[in-house]
């Protein structure tokens, strides 16, 4: 079994002081975890998080970045800036970025390529809306997102990619997708990436995200093609997040 990966997405939560407190409590609970533990924190928390997790296996990342390296772009933040602050990975294409900030597949594609060229690992989020699901368009939507967001990404970079399947309707809604359905969709995504990027299926990691909690995490992790979880609200609570990581650890024994 490949290493399971549990990623916390803090979104716009936690000040620097709260971050320090949280990480100090989390560290002893996930010490020597067999599962990978990544935290996508707000930009302002990257430095403190990276310092506090320096000698641990926990990886710190950002939740977004600019598609350009620099310039007169008020409010933007670049790949070199987050890297110097301590980020090792970046989440790109989250549905909240697409929905509230108008990010297109073309823009996400530029970000993905720039992040890889800069030496970051990438978590690319894809997902369908409820209307698209009801219209039976789930896989065609995901396929288009994968196709457009990964256009021109080299074989070498594609092999480092982590995809997060997050149905838009399941995010923060307490309505999670069924494990069987997620497993089926992950297989389709892996087949598609393998056929377009020439990778073998076992090199492609696909996480599930959307209302994951300690009560349903294990059911997802038991599925062979669910390689980990992207956890929003449940990652804000130290105990809940540690519990999810422990479940992943158990699965890997
Ligand atoms: P949620 O968020 O776990 O709160 O549904 C997941 C995400 O948006 O990454």
Long-range contacts of 94-98 (CB under 8 A, 24+ apart): 94/9, 94/63, 94/64, 94/125, 94/166, 95/125, 95/127, 95/166, 95/168, 95/171, 96/11, 96/171, 97/64
Is residue 155 annotated as a catalytic residue, yes or no?
no
Q: Are 141 and 95 in contact (CB under 8 A)?
A: no
Q: What would the pLDDT profile of 206-251 be if each residue is shown by its tens digit? A: 999 999 999 999 999 999 999 999 999 999 999 999 999 999 999 9
Ligand 1 atom nearest 213 alpha carbon: 3
Q: Is the pLDDT of residue 1 over 70?
A: no
Q: Is the pLDDT of residue 166 over 90?
A: yes
The pick from 233, 237, 243 for probing ligand 1's pocket by mutation, whose C-beta has the most ligand atoms within 8 angstroms, reads 233
Q: Of the residues 94, 157, 186, 246, which is catalytic?
A: 94
* Known catalytic membership, residue 166: yes
Query: Rounded to an integer, what distance in angstroms lies between the CA atom of residue 91 and that of residue 104?
Result: 15
> How confident is the model over 14-65, as pLDDT tens digits?
999 999 999 999 999 999 899 999 999 999 999 999 999 999 999 999 999 9
What the block records as the tokens of 140 is 């065609």
Ligand 1 neighbours by CB, cut-off 6 Å: 9, 166, 171-172, 209-212, 230-234
Contact 4, 221 (CB under 8 A): yes
Q: Determine which one of 96, 103, 132, 166 is catalytic.
A: 166
Q: Helix, strand, or coil here: 211?
A: coil
Question: Rounded to whole angstroms, how far apart are CA atoms 232 and 8?
Answer: 6
């Amino acid at each position: 079994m490949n290493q399971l990966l549990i990623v916390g997405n803090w979104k716009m939560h936690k000040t620097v002081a709260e971050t320090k407190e949280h990480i100090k409590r989390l560290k002893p609970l996930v010490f020597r975890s067999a599962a990978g533990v990544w935290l996508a924190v707000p930009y302002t928390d990257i430095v403190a998080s990276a310092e506090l997790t320096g000698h641990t296996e926990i990886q710190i990342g950002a939740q977004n970045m600019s598609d350009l390296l620099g310039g007169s772009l008020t409010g933007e933040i670049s790949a070199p800036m987050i890297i110097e602050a301590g980020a090792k990975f970046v989440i790109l294409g989250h549905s909240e970025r697409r929905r509230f900030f108008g990010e297109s597949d073309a823009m996400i594609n530029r970000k993905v390529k720039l992040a890889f060229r800069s030496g970051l690992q990438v978590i690319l989020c894809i997902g369908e809306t409820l209307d698209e699901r009801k219209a039976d368009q789930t896989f065609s939507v995901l396929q288009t997102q994968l196709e457009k967001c990964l256009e021109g990404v080299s074989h070498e970079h594609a092999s480092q990619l982590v995809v997060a399947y997050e149905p838009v309707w399941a995010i923060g809604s307490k309505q999670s997708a069924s494990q069987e359905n997620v497993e089926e969709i992950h297989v389709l995504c892996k087949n598609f990436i393998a056929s377009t990027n020439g990778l073998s299926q076992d090199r492609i990691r696909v996480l599930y995200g959307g209302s994951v909690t300690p009560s349903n995490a294990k059911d997802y992790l038991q599925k062979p093609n669910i390689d980990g979880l992207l956890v929003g609200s449940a990652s804000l609570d130290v105990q809940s997040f540690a519990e999810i990581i422990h479940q992943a650890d158990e699965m890997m024994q």
